[in-house]
Chains A and B, each alone.
Chain A
Amino acid sequence: MLNRANIAAQWAGWSEKVGRARAATRPFRKRIAMFFAIVGPGLIVSNVDNDAGGIYTYAQAGAQFGNTVLWTLIPMTLVLYVSLEMCSRLGAYTGKGLSDLIREEFGFRVTFFLMAVVLIVNLGNVMAEFTGVFWATDVLGINRYVSVPLAAVLVWVLVVQGSAKWVERIFLTICIVYFSYVISAFLAKPEWLIALLHLLPPQLLQFVPNIKPFVEVPKFDATYAVIVAGLVGTTIAPWQHFYLQAAVVEKRVGPRQYGHTRNDVLVGSISCMVIVFFIIVCTAATLHVKGIYHIDNAGTAALALKPLAGKGASVLFAIGLLNASVFAASILPLSTAYVVCEALGFESGIDRKFGEAKIFYGLYTALIILGAGLVLFLGAHANTILLWSQVLNGFLLPVVLIFILILVNRRDLVGDKVNSPGFNWVAWISTAAMILLTVVVAYTSLHDLFHW
């Protein structure tokens, strides 16, 4: 018979002999896994930006003013990055969502009214997305009474039935379709060098002797200001900030992983602007140079591309628009329901079952049904829907930015990760500029709407 002491003696040498070969590979594999676990929210949030309202505005800007609006992209990237970075920092260092923080620091009533506004504004945004679906499928020759309800059901099922991870992966994969804009732009054969040159303000370029002949200088008037305001308004939307911070918290990003997230936000902001660059260049090279200055809707932009760049570009444009709209239509209602429920203390999250989070799923469903339904009902006034959703976004954005700025400067919340003085300057000036632009765009929108 064998006793324990005997075994222990025979045992002694074993640990030396057991394989160590794999130890070396571990850190590298882990680092890759870490990057993929954390990459995403920033990329998603900036790319959902290129939605129906966005494409409409970019295409309109390109058609109306050609390359002369391109210079706004660089400052816009900066503002987008600065504002999103603050949210991701708040999320990583407090571990709380933006709406939670507002509730805890500013009380119930402030939060309630803010959430009510968020709900209305985002319903407008959802409607804008379904308008995008409606236009894109129009171009592809599908009846809107088929396509819009179908998209609504698809979006609902995708999010409610899929697990969170699975849904996010699908969205990330679909992001690749954005390259159809790039292909469209190449098929349109624009003057690339001149377009790149216009990334610098033409107001300055015209004083450089050898470059002057290639530079188009825009006339600064009300219509130009509205387009610039529209560009900013559609690129930097309030809901993005709520979504990003919630995603950062949900992904368990802490101080140590924060660097990855900041890079993700940076890559997201830049890639978003690269896409915008291609859309504007594409429309400038096709429509603007041929004297087509006005686009009734993004679908017209696709149609307008047909004779100029062949049938392929038009279909691509429509697919891109459809993808962008469905993508945004699935993220917007979800993030809205999430944010509102978190702030008001209802159970939320797609990881919960229907019975556990009734209000959450109810809100989510209502946003999709109302959004899609109203678009079908108000189909003829689609332009007005887009316009209003942007105006409302514009009103809400400065308010949200001010909340963010107050919170991110609170030492008791984020410790020594408060904004540096320089960062604060950039952020406050951006906020002030945005308020100014909002006033301009609000004034002109109301002006147009009521024919003052």
Chain B
Amino acid sequence: MDLYATELMGAKAYDVGGHYVGRVREFFIEPAEAPNRVSHYLLSRGHFQPLVAKHNQVASVAAGKLELNVSERALELYRPNESWLAVQKDLLDQQIIDTRGRKVVRVNDVDLTPFRTNGNVELRLSQVDVGLAGAVRRLLQGVVPPKVVRKLQSKLPQGAIRWEFVNLVEPDPMRRLKLRITHEKLEDLHPADIAEIMEDLSAAERQGIIASLDEETAAAVLAELDERLTTQIVEKLDPEKAADILEEMAPDAAADLLGDLSKETSEELLHEMPGQEADEVRELLEFDPATAGGMMNTDFAFVGEGSTRDEVLEWMREQEFNLDQLDTIVLLDSLAQFSGTISVARLLLAAGDQRMTELKMEPLLSLSPNADDKEVFELFDKYNLRMLTVVDKEKRPIGAITVDDVVSSLLK
């Protein structure tokens, strides 16, 4: 039968001869050895120095009672160890990430499953309890007999998360390393979900998560995060790492982020970034965020209007476009001036030798970078646009506003 951490805390421990040794005050997991096995039990005995029992010294465990298979003399004195995860101190009442439910929850209790191995009993942490039943158990622990509590809780809604879906949060990088905490499980989530999880955590914990994500995921998460938090996070990151993350971001998102930082920090980061990317971002930084220039992205696809569909496709295959985002291509005339746009769907259906001029979409829309955001919204609404080209005074395209830029600035 499963055991709960609350039932084990305060349990009386007896040695092999049946002599009372002390009470269980804490127990630990050593992630470097086994990810969920209870490796050490801390036995306190009043004002004496506490002892520690190892997992292979435990003969049986039940609610309120722990029996050892060795005599008291075989036990070692307790010494704090940073690479042990303390269930009471590090887990109970703390926030963890439920990677399956994609949210941050608080641990009420921990479920332990006993496994009988040769001559001893090992406890394995099977799930963490976040529901009402765990809360009631915590409240009544030590006041009401465990049997009564068990009976009572069977009627309460259970809320448990399997240990393999639990992602611990630890702000201290050294401790994270010692406890083998990674955020690999998080990387499988959608960046928007990770961002929402991070918004529920404290500043130090957020920092820890961003620092341990790979740059690509970190960039995607930062783009989704509440902008007030983004600046706080980037300011505290190591500039080199921050620049690496910025490089992965779309230039307009990077510019938005840098625009919120102090001039020195943003210059420092731009300095760390490779020349071409930094230049693109610098250009965008010149614009007020509430104008077409501030909303646009300088990363967009453009081709000459005289080229044929096959030529364009061939050229596109060689480029490193973000294909999930690409749905409109800008056309240029022989003076490199804006001559129209064409949707990828039209391109798809066109004949191989059809020229871009014939496929051009009507009406011919473009905007100056100084146009204010209201004008942008109106155009998107009126013409059901997914993309709008921004042109300079010479009518040369300098950027593109996509519908997701519009949505996010509408929500601000």
Q: A interface vs B, CB < 8 Å?
A: 1-4, 6-7, 10-11, 14-15, 17-23, 25-26, 29-30, 37, 93-96, 103-104, 107-109, 111-112, 251-252, 254-257, 344-345
Kindly provide the distance from the CB of A260 to the nearest chain B CB, expressed in whole angstroms: 12
B288 near A22: Cβ-Cβ < 8 Å: yes
Kindly provide the distance from the CB of A363 to the nearest chain B CB, expressed in whole angstroms: 14
Say yes or no: A256-B232 contact (C-beta < 8 A), given A3-B304, A18-B283. yes
B202 near A95: Cβ-Cβ < 8 Å: yes
B304 near A19: Cβ-Cβ < 8 Å: no
Contact residue among A7, A254, A344 (Cβ-Cβ distance under 8 Å from B336): A7
Contact residue among B94, B204, B289, B306 (Cβ-Cβ distance under 8 Å from A2): B306
Interface centre among B302, B336, B369 (most CB of A within 10 A): B336
Contact residue among A2, A23, A93 (Cβ-Cβ distance under 8 Å from B304): A2
Say yes or no: A17-B139 contact (C-beta < 8 A), given A23-B286, A94-B203, A252-B226. no
Bound Cα distance from A255 to B205, whole angstroms: 15
In B318-376, which residues have CB < 8 Å from any A CB? Answer: 332-336, 369-370
A-B contact pairs, 18 of them (CB 8 A): A2-B306, A2-B307, A2-B333, A18-B286, A18-B293, A22-B287, A22-B288, A26-B288, A29-B288, A108-B108, A108-B138, A251-B228, A252-B226, A254-B229, A254-B232, A344-B135, A345-B106, A345-B130
Bound Cα distance from A30 to B261, whole angstroms: 11
Bound Cα distance from A175 to B203, whole angstroms: 32
A345 near B228: Cβ-Cβ < 8 Å: no
B108 near A109: Cβ-Cβ < 8 Å: no
Say yes or no: A96-B135 contact (C-beta < 8 A), given A2-B334, A14-B396, A22-B287. no
Residues of chain A lying within 8 A (CB to CB) of residue B105: 345
Kindly provide the distance from the CB of A350 to the nearest chain B CB, expressed in whole angstroms: 15
Contact residue among A7, A18, A25, A257 (Cβ-Cβ distance under 8 Å from B392): A18
Bound Cα distance from A96 to B104, whole angstroms: 13
B93 near A19: Cβ-Cβ < 8 Å: no
A4 near B306: Cβ-Cβ < 8 Å: no
How many A-B pairs with Cβ below 8 Å? 114
B392 near A14: Cβ-Cβ < 8 Å: yes
B201 near A95: Cβ-Cβ < 8 Å: yes
A17 near B394: Cβ-Cβ < 8 Å: yes
Kindly provide the distance from the CB of B127 to the nearest chain A CB, expressed in whole angstroms: 15
Interface flag for B113 (CB, 8 Å)? no
Residues of chain B lying within 8 A (CB to CB) of residue A254: 203, 228-229, 232
Question: Quick one: CB contact mask for B300-325 with A, threshold 8 Å, 1 for yes?
Answer: 00111111000000010000000000
Contact residue among A1, A103, A112 (Cβ-Cβ distance under 8 Å from B139): A112
Residues of chain B lying within 8 A (CB to CB) of residue A29: 288
Contact residue among B201, B334, B336 (Cβ-Cβ distance under 8 Å from A11): B336
Interface flag for B235 (CB, 8 Å)? yes
Interface flag for B79 (CB, 8 Å)? no
Say yes or no: A18-B398 contact (C-beta < 8 A), given A95-B202, A109-B138. yes
What would 18 more interface pairs be, CB under 8 Å, given A19-B286, A252-B226, A344-B135?
A2-B305, A4-B304, A10-B396, A14-B396, A15-B279, A17-B392, A17-B393, A23-B288, A29-B288, A95-B203, A95-B204, A108-B108, A108-B138, A112-B135, A255-B232, A256-B232, A257-B228, A345-B135
B288 near A345: Cβ-Cβ < 8 Å: no
A14 near B315: Cβ-Cβ < 8 Å: no
Bound Cα distance from A310 to B93, whole angstroms: 59
Interface flag for B259 (CB, 8 Å)? yes
Contact residue among B202, B304, B332, B396 (Cβ-Cβ distance under 8 Å from A94): B202
Interface flag for B92 (CB, 8 Å)? yes
* Closest CB pairs A-B (n = 10): A2-B304, A95-B202, A345-B106, A252-B228, A10-B336, A95-B203, A108-B138, A1-B306, A254-B232, A22-B288
Kindly provide the distance from the CB of B13 to the nearest chain A CB, expressed in whole angstroms: 22
Residues of chain B lying within 8 A (CB to CB) of residue A10: 335-336, 396
Residues of chain B lying within 8 A (CB to CB) of residue A25: 288
A107 near B93: Cβ-Cβ < 8 Å: yes
Residues of chain B lying within 8 A (CB to CB) of residue A7: 302, 304, 332, 336
Interface centre among B94, B106, B204 (most CB of A within 10 A): B106
Give the nearest-CB partner of A113 in chain B: B139
A1 near B307: Cβ-Cβ < 8 Å: yes
Kindly provide the distance from the CB of A245 to the nearest chain B CB, expressed in whole angstroms: 12
Interface flag for B291 (CB, 8 Å)? yes
Residues of chain B lying within 8 A (CB to CB) of residue A30: 260
Bound Cα distance from A21 to B286, whole angstroms: 8
Residues of chain B lying within 8 A (CB to CB) of residue A37: 228
Residues of chain A lying within 8 A (CB to CB) of residue B228: 37, 251-252, 254, 257
Bound Cα distance from A400 to B241, whole angstroms: 41
B94 near A104: Cβ-Cβ < 8 Å: yes
Kindly provide the distance from the CB of B188 to the nearest chain A CB, expressed in whole angstroms: 23
B202 near A20: Cβ-Cβ < 8 Å: no
Bound Cα distance from A30 to B285, whole angstroms: 14
Residues of chain A lying within 8 A (CB to CB) of residue B287: 19, 22-23
Say yes or no: A103-B106 contact (C-beta < 8 A), given A23-B286, A26-B288. yes
Bound Cα distance from A361 to B302, whole angstroms: 52
Say yes or no: A252-B229 contact (C-beta < 8 A), given A14-B396, A104-B94. yes
Contact residue among B93, B229, B370 (Cβ-Cβ distance under 8 Å from A108): B93
Residues of chain A lying within 8 A (CB to CB) of residue B229: 252, 254
In B199-232, which residues have CB < 8 Å from any A CB? Answer: 201-206, 226, 228-229, 231-232
Bound Cα distance from A10 to B288, whole angstroms: 26
Residues of chain B lying within 8 A (CB to CB) of residue A11: 336, 396
Give the nearest-CB partner of B260 in chain A: A30
Residues of chain A lying within 8 A (CB to CB) of residue B333: 2
A108 near B92: Cβ-Cβ < 8 Å: yes
Give the nearest-CB partner of B336 in chain A: A10
Kindly provide the distance from the CB of B390 to the nearest chain A CB, expressed in whole angstroms: 10
Say yes or no: A104-B93 contact (C-beta < 8 A), given A14-B392, A14-B396, A95-B202. yes
Interface centre among A11, A30, A252, A255 (most CB of B within 10 A): A252
Residues of chain A lying within 8 A (CB to CB) of residue B202: 94-96
Residues of chain A lying within 8 A (CB to CB) of residue B393: 17
Give the nearest-CB partner of B235 in chain A: A256
Kindly provide the distance from the CB of B260 to the nearest chain A CB, expressed in whole angstroms: 8
Interface centre among A4, A23, A345 (most CB of B within 10 A): A345
Bound Cα distance from A253 to B105, whole angstroms: 22
